[in-house]
Structure 1
Protein backbone atom coordinates (compact mmCIF):
# COMPACT_ATOMS: atom_id res chain seq x y z
CA UNK A 1 0.00 0.00 0.00
CA UNK A 2 1.78 3.08 -1.26
CA UNK A 3 0.75 6.74 -1.34
CA UNK A 4 -1.20 8.07 -3.20
CA UNK A 5 -3.10 4.82 -3.80
CA UNK A 6 -3.49 4.32 -0.05
CA UNK A 7 -4.33 7.27 2.19
CA UNK A 8 -4.54 6.54 5.93
CA UNK A 9 -6.46 9.75 6.51
CA UNK A 10 -9.48 8.47 4.58
CA UNK A 11 -10.68 6.58 7.67
CA UNK A 12 -9.96 9.47 10.04
CA UNK A 13 -11.98 12.07 8.15
CA UNK A 14 -15.16 12.03 10.27
CA UNK A 15 -16.16 11.04 13.78
CA UNK A 16 -18.42 8.33 12.39
CA UNK A 17 -15.61 6.78 10.31
CA UNK A 18 -13.20 6.91 13.25
CA UNK A 19 -15.75 5.17 15.45
CA UNK A 20 -16.44 2.54 12.81
CA UNK A 21 -12.81 1.36 12.66
CA UNK A 22 -11.87 1.94 16.31
CA UNK A 23 -9.81 -1.00 17.59
CA UNK A 24 -10.11 -0.50 21.35
CA UNK A 25 -13.32 0.40 23.14
CA UNK A 26 -14.32 1.32 26.64
CA UNK A 27 -17.59 0.43 28.33
CA UNK A 28 -18.94 1.10 31.80
CA UNK A 29 -19.23 -2.65 32.41
CA UNK A 30 -15.44 -2.93 32.33
CA UNK A 31 -14.98 -0.41 35.15
CA UNK A 32 -14.82 -1.05 38.90
CA UNK A 33 -15.27 1.86 41.31
CA UNK A 34 -13.39 1.89 44.65
CA UNK A 35 -15.37 2.84 47.77
CA UNK A 36 -13.88 3.88 51.10
CA UNK A 37 -16.08 3.08 54.11
CA UNK A 38 -15.68 4.93 57.41
CA UNK A 39 -17.39 4.76 60.82
CA UNK A 40 -20.27 7.06 61.73
CA UNK A 41 -23.46 8.14 60.02
CA UNK A 42 -24.21 10.65 57.28
CA UNK A 43 -20.50 10.90 56.45
CA UNK A 44 -19.51 12.05 52.97
CA UNK A 45 -15.99 13.38 53.28
CA UNK A 46 -13.94 14.34 50.24
CA UNK A 47 -10.36 13.06 50.16
CA UNK A 48 -8.22 16.23 49.86
CA UNK A 49 -5.64 14.66 47.55
CA UNK A 50 -8.30 12.96 45.38
CA UNK A 51 -10.85 15.56 44.22
CA UNK A 52 -14.25 13.99 43.59
CA UNK A 53 -13.53 10.89 45.72
CA UNK A 54 -15.32 10.58 49.04
CA UNK A 55 -15.10 8.50 52.18
CA UNK A 56 -18.62 7.31 53.04
CA UNK A 57 -20.34 5.89 56.08
CA UNK A 58 -22.32 2.67 55.66
CA UNK A 59 -25.65 4.50 55.49
CA UNK A 60 -24.43 6.47 52.44
CA UNK A 61 -23.30 3.46 50.42
CA UNK A 62 -26.65 2.51 48.87
CA UNK A 63 -27.19 5.96 47.36
CA UNK A 64 -23.72 5.85 45.83
CA UNK A 65 -24.35 2.34 44.51
CA UNK A 66 -27.61 3.39 42.89
CA UNK A 67 -25.80 6.22 41.11
CA UNK A 68 -23.20 3.78 39.81
CA UNK A 69 -25.80 1.32 38.56
CA UNK A 70 -27.65 4.08 36.70
CA UNK A 71 -24.38 4.90 34.94
CA UNK A 72 -23.92 1.27 33.92
CA UNK A 73 -21.14 0.53 36.44
CA UNK A 74 -21.91 -2.87 37.91
CA UNK A 75 -19.00 -3.48 40.31
CA UNK A 76 -17.29 -1.84 43.28
CA UNK A 77 -14.29 -2.73 45.41
CA UNK A 78 -14.52 -1.93 49.12
CA UNK A 79 -11.86 -0.56 51.48
CA UNK A 80 -12.60 -0.03 55.16
CA UNK A 81 -11.27 2.31 57.84
CA UNK A 82 -12.12 0.83 61.27
CA UNK A 83 -12.85 2.71 64.47
CA UNK A 84 -9.94 1.00 66.24
CA UNK A 85 -6.70 -0.53 65.00
CA UNK A 86 -4.35 -3.02 66.66
CA UNK A 87 -1.14 -4.85 65.94
CA UNK A 88 -2.85 -7.91 64.48
CA UNK A 89 -5.40 -6.11 62.30
CA UNK A 90 -8.21 -7.98 64.06
CA UNK A 91 -10.83 -5.58 62.72
CA UNK A 92 -10.22 -6.96 59.24
CA UNK A 93 -12.05 -10.22 60.00
CA UNK A 94 -14.50 -9.01 62.65
CA UNK A 95 -18.03 -10.27 62.00
CA UNK A 96 -19.38 -6.74 62.43
CA UNK A 97 -16.38 -5.00 60.92
CA UNK A 98 -16.71 -1.90 58.77
CA UNK A 99 -16.38 -3.73 55.43
CA UNK A 100 -18.60 -6.59 56.56
CA UNK A 101 -21.36 -4.11 57.42
CA UNK A 102 -20.82 -2.37 54.10
CA UNK A 103 -21.17 -5.63 52.19
CA UNK A 104 -24.43 -6.51 53.93
CA UNK A 105 -25.86 -3.03 53.30
CA UNK A 106 -24.99 -3.09 49.60
CA UNK A 107 -26.26 -6.63 48.99
CA UNK A 108 -29.48 -5.79 50.81
CA UNK A 109 -30.15 -2.50 49.04
CA UNK A 110 -28.54 -3.12 45.62
CA UNK A 111 -28.29 -6.90 45.20
CA UNK A 112 -27.50 -6.58 41.48
CA UNK A 113 -24.22 -4.79 42.27
CA UNK A 114 -21.09 -6.95 42.20
CA UNK A 115 -19.28 -6.38 45.50
CA UNK A 116 -15.54 -7.06 45.52
CA UNK A 117 -13.56 -6.68 48.72
CA UNK A 118 -9.94 -5.77 49.24
CA UNK A 119 -8.32 -8.36 51.53
CA UNK A 120 -5.38 -6.82 53.38
CA UNK A 121 -4.41 -5.72 56.88
CA UNK A 122 -2.81 -2.31 56.30
CA UNK A 123 -6.01 -0.36 57.02
CA UNK A 124 -6.54 -2.32 60.24
CA UNK A 125 -3.08 -2.46 61.82
CA UNK A 126 -1.80 0.29 64.10
CA UNK A 127 1.60 0.03 62.39
CA UNK A 128 0.22 0.33 58.83
CA UNK A 129 1.91 -2.76 57.40
CA UNK A 130 0.07 -5.42 55.43
CA UNK A 131 0.77 -8.31 57.78
CA UNK A 132 1.45 -9.55 61.29
CA UNK A 133 4.73 -8.27 62.73
CA UNK A 134 7.40 -10.31 64.49
CA UNK A 135 10.43 -8.28 65.61
CA UNK A 136 9.25 -5.41 63.39
CA UNK A 137 9.25 -7.62 60.31
CA UNK A 138 6.13 -8.81 58.50
CA UNK A 139 5.82 -12.53 59.18
CA UNK A 140 4.56 -14.04 55.95
CA UNK A 141 3.23 -17.36 57.23
CA UNK A 142 1.63 -15.96 60.38
CA UNK A 143 -0.22 -13.46 58.19
CA UNK A 144 -1.77 -16.09 55.90
CA UNK A 145 -4.29 -17.36 58.45
CA UNK A 146 -5.47 -13.81 59.22
CA UNK A 147 -5.91 -13.05 55.53
CA UNK A 148 -7.85 -16.26 54.99
CA UNK A 149 -10.12 -15.50 57.94
CA UNK A 150 -10.68 -12.00 56.52
CA UNK A 151 -11.65 -13.37 53.11
CA UNK A 152 -14.00 -15.87 54.77
CA UNK A 153 -15.66 -13.14 56.82
CA UNK A 154 -16.26 -11.14 53.64
CA UNK A 155 -17.77 -14.15 51.87
CA UNK A 156 -20.03 -14.85 54.84
CA UNK A 157 -21.21 -11.22 54.74
CA UNK A 158 -22.17 -11.67 51.07
CA UNK A 159 -19.16 -10.53 49.02
CA UNK A 160 -19.25 -11.65 45.40
CA UNK A 161 -15.45 -11.68 45.01
CA UNK A 162 -12.39 -11.23 47.23
CA UNK A 163 -9.18 -9.49 46.17
CA UNK A 164 -6.06 -10.10 48.29
CA UNK A 165 -3.65 -7.17 47.96
CA UNK A 166 -1.10 -7.97 50.68
CA UNK A 167 1.57 -9.64 48.49
CA UNK A 168 2.28 -12.42 51.00
CA UNK A 169 3.63 -15.61 49.44
CA UNK A 170 1.01 -18.36 49.33
CA UNK A 171 -2.00 -16.27 50.25
CA UNK A 172 -4.12 -17.22 47.22
CA UNK A 173 -3.84 -20.93 48.06
CA UNK A 174 -4.60 -20.23 51.74
CA UNK A 175 -7.67 -18.17 50.89
CA UNK A 176 -8.88 -20.64 48.26
CA UNK A 177 -8.61 -23.47 50.75
CA UNK A 178 -10.44 -21.53 53.47
CA UNK A 179 -13.27 -20.53 51.15
CA UNK A 180 -13.68 -24.02 49.73
CA UNK A 181 -13.67 -25.69 53.14
CA UNK A 182 -16.49 -23.43 54.28
CA UNK A 183 -18.80 -23.81 51.30
CA UNK A 184 -17.71 -20.74 49.32
CA UNK A 185 -16.09 -22.54 46.41
CA UNK A 186 -18.00 -20.31 43.99
CA UNK A 187 -16.53 -17.05 45.35
CA UNK A 188 -13.77 -16.03 42.91
CA UNK A 189 -10.39 -14.56 43.84
CA UNK A 190 -9.09 -11.52 41.99
CA UNK A 191 -5.46 -11.55 43.06
CA UNK A 192 -3.28 -8.47 43.19
CA UNK A 193 -0.79 -10.79 41.54
CA UNK A 194 1.65 -8.11 40.37
CA UNK A 195 1.72 -5.24 42.85
CA UNK A 196 4.72 -2.95 42.73
CA UNK A 197 6.21 -0.89 45.56
CA UNK A 198 5.09 2.29 43.85
CA UNK A 199 5.32 6.01 44.54
CA UNK A 200 1.84 6.39 43.06
CA UNK A 201 -0.02 5.11 46.15
CA UNK A 202 0.31 8.27 48.25
CA UNK A 203 -3.25 9.67 48.02
CA UNK A 204 -4.75 6.23 48.71
CA UNK A 205 -2.81 6.00 51.96
CA UNK A 206 -4.33 9.33 52.97
CA UNK A 207 -7.81 8.09 52.08
CA UNK A 208 -7.42 4.71 53.83
CA UNK A 209 -5.24 5.96 56.69
CA UNK A 210 -2.80 3.15 55.93
CA UNK A 211 0.63 4.80 55.76
CA UNK A 212 3.28 2.59 57.43
CA UNK A 213 4.38 3.98 60.78
CA UNK A 214 7.94 2.86 60.12
CA UNK A 215 9.92 1.49 57.19
CA UNK A 216 8.21 0.78 53.89
CA UNK A 217 6.65 -2.10 51.94
CA UNK A 218 9.52 -2.91 49.61
CA UNK A 219 10.15 -6.15 51.49
CA UNK A 220 6.91 -7.63 50.17
CA UNK A 221 5.76 -5.49 47.26
CA UNK A 222 7.61 -5.84 43.95
CA UNK A 223 10.62 -3.89 42.73
CA UNK A 224 9.48 -1.54 39.91
CA UNK A 225 12.49 -2.62 37.84
CA UNK A 226 11.36 -6.24 37.44
CA UNK A 227 9.45 -7.90 34.61
CA UNK A 228 10.34 -11.59 34.87
CA UNK A 229 9.38 -11.54 38.53
CA UNK A 230 5.91 -10.37 37.50
CA UNK A 231 5.49 -13.46 35.35
CA UNK A 232 6.62 -15.68 38.23
CA UNK A 233 4.15 -14.04 40.61
CA UNK A 234 1.29 -14.40 38.14
CA UNK A 235 2.19 -18.04 37.50
CA UNK A 236 2.22 -18.84 41.21
CA UNK A 237 -1.14 -17.17 41.80
CA UNK A 238 -2.65 -18.98 38.82
CA UNK A 239 -1.41 -22.31 40.15
CA UNK A 240 -2.79 -21.47 43.61
CA UNK A 241 -6.28 -20.85 42.27
CA UNK A 242 -6.63 -17.20 41.28
CA UNK A 243 -9.52 -16.49 38.91
CA UNK A 244 -8.39 -12.99 37.83
CA UNK A 245 -4.87 -11.54 37.80
CA UNK A 246 -4.35 -7.87 38.61
CA UNK A 247 -1.51 -5.47 37.82
CA UNK A 248 -1.09 -2.45 40.10
CA UNK A 249 -0.39 0.38 39.25
CA UNK A 250 -1.58 0.55 35.66
CA UNK A 251 -0.17 3.45 33.63
CA UNK A 252 3.46 3.05 34.66
CA UNK A 253 3.21 -0.71 34.04
CA UNK A 254 1.43 -1.01 30.69
CA UNK A 255 4.24 -3.28 29.50
CA UNK A 256 3.49 -5.64 32.39
CA UNK A 257 -0.21 -5.72 31.55
CA UNK A 258 0.70 -6.57 27.95
CA UNK A 259 3.09 -9.35 29.01
CA UNK A 260 0.47 -10.95 31.27
CA UNK A 261 -2.10 -10.72 28.48
CA UNK A 262 0.29 -12.61 26.20
CA UNK A 263 1.24 -15.27 28.75
CA UNK A 264 -2.03 -16.04 30.57
CA UNK A 265 -5.59 -16.78 29.51
CA UNK A 266 -7.18 -15.65 32.78
CA UNK A 267 -8.96 -12.26 32.82
CA UNK A 268 -6.52 -9.42 33.49
CA UNK A 269 -7.42 -6.51 35.77
CA UNK A 270 -5.48 -3.28 36.18
CA UNK A 271 -5.74 -0.75 38.98
CA UNK A 272 -5.40 2.89 37.90
CA UNK A 273 -4.22 4.00 41.31
CA UNK A 274 -4.74 7.14 43.35
CA UNK A 275 -1.57 8.90 42.26
CA UNK A 276 -2.35 8.34 38.60
CA UNK A 277 -5.82 9.79 39.18
CA UNK A 278 -4.56 12.71 41.29
CA UNK A 279 -1.93 13.77 38.73
CA UNK A 280 -4.51 14.08 35.97
CA UNK A 281 -6.88 15.94 38.29
CA UNK A 282 -4.18 18.36 39.44
CA UNK A 283 -2.93 19.10 35.94
CA UNK A 284 -6.49 19.65 34.72
CA UNK A 285 -7.27 21.96 37.66
CA UNK A 286 -4.26 24.07 36.70
CA UNK A 287 -5.34 24.24 33.08
CA UNK A 288 -2.27 22.37 31.88
CA UNK A 289 -4.19 19.54 30.18
CA UNK A 290 -7.71 18.74 29.06
CA UNK A 291 -8.74 16.56 31.99
CA UNK A 292 -11.58 14.76 30.22
CA UNK A 293 -9.47 13.83 27.22
CA UNK A 294 -6.55 12.77 29.43
CA UNK A 295 -8.88 10.57 31.48
CA UNK A 296 -10.24 8.81 28.40
CA UNK A 297 -6.81 8.45 26.79
CA UNK A 298 -5.33 6.92 29.95
CA UNK A 299 -8.13 4.39 30.26
CA UNK A 300 -7.89 3.49 26.58
CA UNK A 301 -4.16 2.88 27.06
CA UNK A 302 -4.87 0.42 29.87
CA UNK A 303 -7.45 -1.40 27.75
CA UNK A 304 -5.16 -1.35 24.70
CA UNK A 305 -2.39 -2.95 26.75
CA UNK A 306 -4.71 -5.88 27.43
CA UNK A 307 -6.69 -5.25 30.62
CA UNK A 308 -10.20 -6.71 30.65
CA UNK A 309 -11.15 -4.93 33.89
CA UNK A 310 -10.08 -1.48 35.09
CA UNK A 311 -10.37 -0.39 38.71
CA UNK A 312 -10.42 3.39 38.55
CA UNK A 313 -11.54 6.45 40.49
CA UNK A 314 -12.57 7.87 37.11
CA UNK A 315 -15.29 5.25 36.69
CA UNK A 316 -18.24 7.60 37.21
CA UNK A 317 -16.78 10.38 35.07
CA UNK A 318 -15.88 7.97 32.28
CA UNK A 319 -19.32 6.36 32.35
CA UNK A 320 -20.97 9.78 32.05
CA UNK A 321 -18.72 10.61 29.10
CA UNK A 322 -19.59 7.31 27.41
CA UNK A 323 -23.27 8.12 27.72
CA UNK A 324 -22.65 11.36 25.81
CA UNK A 325 -20.72 9.69 22.97
Structure 2
Protein backbone atom coordinates (compact mmCIF):
# COMPACT_ATOMS: atom_id res chain seq x y z
CA UNK A 1 0.00 0.00 0.00
CA UNK A 2 1.45 3.35 -1.05
CA UNK A 3 1.37 6.09 1.57
CA UNK A 4 2.88 8.85 -0.53
CA UNK A 5 0.97 12.08 -0.12
CA UNK A 6 -0.03 14.73 -2.59
CA UNK A 7 -1.20 18.23 -1.70
CA UNK A 8 -4.41 19.64 -3.15
CA UNK A 9 -4.71 23.36 -3.77
CA UNK A 10 -7.40 25.75 -4.95
CA UNK A 11 -6.78 28.30 -7.67
CA UNK A 12 -6.07 30.93 -5.00
CA UNK A 13 -3.44 28.78 -3.29
CA UNK A 14 -5.29 27.35 -0.29
CA UNK A 15 -4.02 23.92 0.72
CA UNK A 16 -6.98 21.57 0.80
CA UNK A 17 -5.44 18.64 2.53
CA UNK A 18 -3.48 15.50 1.82
CA UNK A 19 -4.54 12.37 0.01
CA UNK A 20 -3.13 9.07 -1.14
CA UNK A 21 -1.79 8.90 -4.68
CA UNK A 22 -2.70 5.22 -4.80
CA UNK A 23 -6.17 4.96 -6.38
CA UNK A 24 -6.56 1.45 -4.98
CA UNK A 25 -6.46 2.84 -1.46
CA UNK A 26 -9.13 5.40 -2.34
CA UNK A 27 -11.35 2.63 -3.70
CA UNK A 28 -10.82 0.52 -0.57
CA UNK A 29 -11.77 3.47 1.64
CA UNK A 30 -15.01 4.04 -0.28
CA UNK A 31 -15.87 0.35 -0.18
CA UNK A 32 -15.21 0.29 3.55
CA UNK A 33 -17.40 3.32 4.19
CA UNK A 34 -20.30 1.97 2.12
CA UNK A 35 -20.07 -1.50 3.71
CA UNK A 36 -21.47 -0.11 6.98
CA UNK A 37 -24.37 1.77 5.33
CA UNK A 38 -25.38 -0.84 2.76
CA UNK A 39 -29.13 -0.76 2.27
CA UNK A 40 -29.43 2.42 4.33
CA UNK A 41 -27.69 4.88 2.03
CA UNK A 42 -27.34 4.78 -1.74
CA UNK A 43 -23.84 4.57 -3.24
CA UNK A 44 -24.84 7.66 -5.25
CA UNK A 45 -23.69 9.58 -2.18
CA UNK A 46 -20.08 9.40 -3.42
CA UNK A 47 -21.08 11.69 -6.32
CA UNK A 48 -22.86 14.26 -4.12
CA UNK A 49 -21.47 17.68 -3.25
CA UNK A 50 -22.36 19.61 -0.09
CA UNK A 51 -21.76 23.25 0.78
CA UNK A 52 -21.15 23.87 4.49
CA UNK A 53 -21.11 27.55 5.48
CA UNK A 54 -19.60 27.97 8.94
CA UNK A 55 -17.29 25.24 10.25
CA UNK A 56 -17.28 25.87 13.98
CA UNK A 57 -18.71 23.52 16.62
CA UNK A 58 -21.73 22.57 14.50
CA UNK A 59 -20.38 22.81 10.98
CA UNK A 60 -17.09 20.96 11.55
CA UNK A 61 -18.92 18.06 13.21
CA UNK A 62 -21.52 17.86 10.43
CA UNK A 63 -18.86 17.99 7.72
CA UNK A 64 -16.93 15.13 9.29
CA UNK A 65 -20.01 12.96 9.74
CA UNK A 66 -21.07 13.54 6.12
CA UNK A 67 -17.64 12.48 4.87
CA UNK A 68 -17.69 9.40 7.10
CA UNK A 69 -21.10 8.60 5.57
CA UNK A 70 -19.69 8.73 2.04
CA UNK A 71 -20.27 12.24 0.69
CA UNK A 72 -17.73 12.56 -2.10
CA UNK A 73 -17.31 16.31 -2.54
CA UNK A 74 -17.60 19.32 -0.28
CA UNK A 75 -17.22 23.08 -0.31
CA UNK A 76 -16.46 24.60 3.10
CA UNK A 77 -16.62 28.31 3.86
CA UNK A 78 -15.51 30.18 6.98
CA UNK A 79 -13.26 33.25 7.45
CA UNK A 80 -12.00 32.41 10.94
CA UNK A 81 -8.94 30.74 12.41
CA UNK A 82 -8.96 28.00 15.05
CA UNK A 83 -8.78 29.25 18.64
CA UNK A 84 -8.04 27.36 21.85
CA UNK A 85 -11.66 27.84 22.89
CA UNK A 86 -12.70 25.80 19.84
CA UNK A 87 -10.99 22.66 21.09
CA UNK A 88 -13.72 21.79 23.59
CA UNK A 89 -16.47 21.18 21.05
CA UNK A 90 -15.13 21.02 17.49
CA UNK A 91 -13.09 18.48 15.54
CA UNK A 92 -9.94 20.65 15.61
CA UNK A 93 -6.70 19.79 17.42
CA UNK A 94 -4.25 21.89 19.46
CA UNK A 95 -1.80 22.11 16.55
CA UNK A 96 -4.59 23.66 14.42
CA UNK A 97 -4.77 26.76 16.65
CA UNK A 98 -3.97 29.96 14.80
CA UNK A 99 -4.57 28.39 11.40
CA UNK A 100 -7.46 28.68 8.98
CA UNK A 101 -10.48 26.59 9.99
CA UNK A 102 -11.30 25.61 6.42
CA UNK A 103 -7.73 24.55 5.62
CA UNK A 104 -7.33 22.48 8.79
CA UNK A 105 -10.75 20.89 8.43
CA UNK A 106 -10.04 20.03 4.79
CA UNK A 107 -6.83 18.25 5.81
CA UNK A 108 -8.72 16.24 8.44
CA UNK A 109 -11.47 15.29 6.00
CA UNK A 110 -8.95 14.20 3.37
CA UNK A 111 -7.31 11.94 5.93
CA UNK A 112 -10.67 10.25 6.49
CA UNK A 113 -11.37 9.82 2.78
CA UNK A 114 -8.39 10.60 0.54
CA UNK A 115 -10.69 10.52 -2.49
CA UNK A 116 -12.76 13.41 -1.18
CA UNK A 117 -12.87 16.55 -3.32
CA UNK A 118 -12.67 19.64 -1.11
CA UNK A 119 -12.93 23.29 -2.07
CA UNK A 120 -12.00 25.86 0.57
CA UNK A 121 -13.32 29.41 0.83
CA UNK A 122 -11.67 31.34 3.66
CA UNK A 123 -14.27 34.03 3.30
CA UNK A 124 -17.26 35.54 5.03
CA UNK A 125 -20.14 34.66 2.71
CA UNK A 126 -21.21 38.30 2.79
CA UNK A 127 -17.95 39.32 1.09
CA UNK A 128 -18.71 37.08 -1.89
CA UNK A 129 -20.30 38.61 -4.96
CA UNK A 130 -23.69 37.50 -6.22
CA UNK A 131 -21.95 35.92 -9.21
CA UNK A 132 -19.67 33.90 -6.93
CA UNK A 133 -22.56 32.69 -4.80
CA UNK A 134 -24.62 31.63 -7.81
CA UNK A 135 -21.60 29.67 -9.06
CA UNK A 136 -20.98 27.99 -5.69
CA UNK A 137 -24.59 27.15 -4.88
CA UNK A 138 -25.39 25.92 -8.39
CA UNK A 139 -22.92 23.03 -8.22
CA UNK A 140 -24.03 21.71 -4.81
CA UNK A 141 -26.77 19.21 -4.02
CA UNK A 142 -27.57 20.43 -0.49
CA UNK A 143 -26.65 23.63 1.34
CA UNK A 144 -25.83 23.44 5.06
CA UNK A 145 -25.98 26.70 7.01
CA UNK A 146 -24.23 26.65 10.39
CA UNK A 147 -22.97 30.20 10.76
CA UNK A 148 -23.17 32.40 13.86
CA UNK A 149 -24.31 35.38 11.81
CA UNK A 150 -28.08 35.90 11.28
CA UNK A 151 -27.47 38.08 8.22
CA UNK A 152 -25.31 35.37 6.66
CA UNK A 153 -28.11 32.86 7.26
CA UNK A 154 -30.50 35.13 5.36
CA UNK A 155 -28.07 35.37 2.45
CA UNK A 156 -27.80 31.57 2.32
CA UNK A 157 -31.57 31.29 2.49
CA UNK A 158 -32.13 33.62 -0.45
CA UNK A 159 -29.59 32.06 -2.79
CA UNK A 160 -30.42 28.45 -1.90
CA UNK A 161 -34.15 28.96 -2.38
CA UNK A 162 -33.68 31.08 -5.50
CA UNK A 163 -31.52 28.40 -7.13
CA UNK A 164 -33.85 25.56 -6.15
CA UNK A 165 -31.41 23.95 -3.72
CA UNK A 166 -32.57 22.23 -0.52
CA UNK A 167 -30.97 23.80 2.56
CA UNK A 168 -30.64 22.76 6.19
CA UNK A 169 -30.17 25.46 8.84
CA UNK A 170 -28.84 24.28 12.20
CA UNK A 171 -28.84 26.45 15.30
CA UNK A 172 -28.45 26.20 19.06
CA UNK A 173 -30.32 28.19 21.68
CA UNK A 174 -28.87 29.87 24.77
CA UNK A 175 -26.42 27.52 26.53
CA UNK A 176 -27.27 24.74 24.05
CA UNK A 177 -30.22 23.91 26.29
CA UNK A 178 -32.24 23.65 23.11
CA UNK A 179 -31.75 23.85 19.39
CA UNK A 180 -33.34 23.74 15.96
CA UNK A 181 -32.99 22.21 12.53
CA UNK A 182 -34.89 24.00 9.77
CA UNK A 183 -35.40 22.29 6.43
CA UNK A 184 -35.98 24.48 3.40
CA UNK A 185 -36.96 22.74 0.17
CA UNK A 186 -37.95 25.13 -2.64
CA UNK A 187 -41.52 24.53 -3.76
CA UNK A 188 -42.24 22.17 -0.85
CA UNK A 189 -41.61 24.11 2.37
CA UNK A 190 -41.49 27.73 3.53
CA UNK A 191 -38.04 29.27 3.49
CA UNK A 192 -35.81 29.79 6.54
CA UNK A 193 -36.95 33.39 6.95
CA UNK A 194 -40.62 32.39 7.16
CA UNK A 195 -39.86 29.44 9.42
CA UNK A 196 -37.96 31.45 12.03
CA UNK A 197 -40.89 33.85 12.38
CA UNK A 198 -42.65 30.97 14.18
CA UNK A 199 -39.99 30.95 16.90
CA UNK A 200 -40.10 34.71 17.27
CA UNK A 201 -43.88 34.60 17.72
CA UNK A 202 -43.64 31.80 20.29
CA UNK A 203 -40.93 33.62 22.21
CA UNK A 204 -43.33 36.50 22.84
CA UNK A 205 -45.51 34.26 25.00
CA UNK A 206 -43.17 31.50 26.23
CA UNK A 207 -39.86 33.33 26.67
CA UNK A 208 -36.77 33.83 24.53
CA UNK A 209 -34.51 30.91 23.72
CA UNK A 210 -32.36 32.22 20.87
CA UNK A 211 -28.77 33.28 21.43
CA UNK A 212 -28.25 37.02 21.81
CA UNK A 213 -26.54 39.02 19.09
CA UNK A 214 -23.34 40.95 19.68
CA UNK A 215 -24.31 44.21 18.02
CA UNK A 216 -20.66 45.17 17.69
CA UNK A 217 -20.10 42.37 15.19
CA UNK A 218 -23.61 41.35 14.14
CA UNK A 219 -22.77 37.76 15.11
CA UNK A 220 -24.29 35.62 17.83
CA UNK A 221 -22.54 35.76 21.18
CA UNK A 222 -20.45 32.75 22.13
CA UNK A 223 -22.03 30.86 25.01
CA UNK A 224 -20.89 28.31 27.55
CA UNK A 225 -22.30 24.93 26.53
CA UNK A 226 -21.48 21.23 26.40
CA UNK A 227 -20.27 19.84 23.11
CA UNK A 228 -22.46 16.76 23.53
CA UNK A 229 -25.59 18.94 23.59
CA UNK A 230 -24.46 20.72 20.44
CA UNK A 231 -23.76 17.38 18.75
CA UNK A 232 -27.18 16.07 19.75
CA UNK A 233 -28.78 18.64 17.44
CA UNK A 234 -26.04 18.38 14.81
CA UNK A 235 -26.39 14.59 14.60
CA UNK A 236 -30.10 14.88 13.82
CA UNK A 237 -29.29 17.36 11.07
CA UNK A 238 -26.79 14.93 9.53
CA UNK A 239 -29.47 12.27 9.13
CA UNK A 240 -31.82 14.85 7.58
CA UNK A 241 -29.09 15.99 5.16
CA UNK A 242 -28.30 12.41 4.17
CA UNK A 243 -31.97 11.70 3.51
CA UNK A 244 -32.08 14.68 1.14
CA UNK A 245 -29.24 13.09 -0.84
CA UNK A 246 -31.04 9.81 -1.49
CA UNK A 247 -32.30 9.67 -5.12
CA UNK A 248 -36.07 9.33 -5.50
CA UNK A 249 -35.67 6.11 -7.50
CA UNK A 250 -33.41 4.52 -4.89
CA UNK A 251 -34.66 1.67 -2.71
CA UNK A 252 -32.85 2.24 0.58
CA UNK A 253 -34.10 2.71 4.13
CA UNK A 254 -33.27 6.40 4.45
CA UNK A 255 -35.32 7.27 1.36
CA UNK A 256 -38.56 7.37 3.34
CA UNK A 257 -37.20 9.10 6.43
CA UNK A 258 -37.97 12.76 5.71
CA UNK A 259 -40.82 12.59 3.19
CA UNK A 260 -43.65 11.87 5.72
CA UNK A 261 -42.60 14.86 7.84
CA UNK A 262 -42.56 17.21 4.84
CA UNK A 263 -45.96 15.91 3.70
CA UNK A 264 -47.36 16.82 7.12
CA UNK A 265 -45.86 20.30 6.91
CA UNK A 266 -43.13 19.50 9.45
CA UNK A 267 -40.02 21.36 8.33
CA UNK A 268 -38.89 22.82 11.66
CA UNK A 269 -37.44 20.45 14.26
CA UNK A 270 -36.86 21.77 17.78
CA UNK A 271 -34.96 20.16 20.65
CA UNK A 272 -34.90 20.40 24.43
CA UNK A 273 -31.88 19.15 26.35
CA UNK A 274 -33.26 19.96 29.83
CA UNK A 275 -36.43 19.36 31.79
CA UNK A 276 -39.30 21.89 31.69
CA UNK A 277 -37.76 23.82 28.81
CA UNK A 278 -39.44 26.56 26.75
CA UNK A 279 -42.88 25.46 25.45
CA UNK A 280 -42.31 21.75 26.07
CA UNK A 281 -44.26 21.60 29.38
CA UNK A 282 -47.35 22.80 27.49
CA UNK A 283 -46.95 20.09 24.86
CA UNK A 284 -46.11 17.16 27.13
CA UNK A 285 -48.14 18.09 30.23
CA UNK A 286 -49.65 14.93 31.68
CA UNK A 287 -47.60 12.63 29.42
CA UNK A 288 -45.77 10.06 31.56
CA UNK A 289 -42.06 9.37 31.26
CA UNK A 290 -41.01 12.85 30.18
CA UNK A 291 -37.75 14.51 31.10
CA UNK A 292 -34.82 16.04 29.20
CA UNK A 293 -34.12 15.29 25.54
CA UNK A 294 -37.45 15.97 23.92
CA UNK A 295 -38.19 17.10 20.37
CA UNK A 296 -41.13 18.71 18.64
CA UNK A 297 -41.70 19.26 14.93
CA UNK A 298 -43.32 22.56 13.97
CA UNK A 299 -45.27 23.50 10.85
CA UNK A 300 -44.22 27.00 9.73
CA UNK A 301 -46.40 28.84 7.24
CA UNK A 302 -45.22 30.59 4.12
CA UNK A 303 -45.66 34.35 4.07
CA UNK A 304 -47.07 35.09 0.63
CA UNK A 305 -45.32 38.46 0.71
CA UNK A 306 -41.94 36.92 1.52
CA UNK A 307 -39.27 38.15 -0.88
CA UNK A 308 -37.68 34.68 -0.88
CA UNK A 309 -40.50 32.12 -1.08
CA UNK A 310 -43.61 34.28 -1.57
CA UNK A 311 -45.63 34.98 -4.70
CA UNK A 312 -42.78 36.67 -6.54
CA UNK A 313 -40.59 33.98 -8.09
CA UNK A 314 -36.85 34.52 -8.11
CA UNK A 315 -34.61 33.70 -11.03
CA UNK A 316 -30.87 33.81 -11.55
CA UNK A 317 -31.05 37.33 -12.97
CA UNK A 318 -32.77 38.64 -9.85
CA UNK A 319 -30.21 36.86 -7.64
CA UNK A 320 -27.40 38.55 -9.56
CA UNK A 321 -28.96 41.88 -8.57
CA UNK A 322 -29.30 40.90 -4.91
CA UNK A 323 -27.02 42.86 -2.55
CA UNK A 324 -25.15 40.27 -0.50
CA UNK A 325 -24.04 42.54 2.33
CA UNK A 326 -26.30 45.12 3.94
CA UNK A 327 -25.07 48.69 3.34
CA UNK A 328 -23.34 50.31 6.31
CA UNK A 329 -24.56 53.57 7.81
CA UNK A 330 -21.37 55.27 6.55
CA UNK A 331 -22.02 54.16 2.98
CA UNK A 332 -25.64 55.31 3.15
CA UNK A 333 -24.56 58.73 4.37
CA UNK A 334 -21.94 58.93 1.62
CA UNK A 335 -24.56 58.10 -1.01
CA UNK A 336 -26.95 60.73 0.36
CA UNK A 337 -24.24 63.39 0.48
TM-score higher than 0.5 = no
Q: TM-score, normalised by structure 1?
A: 0.29
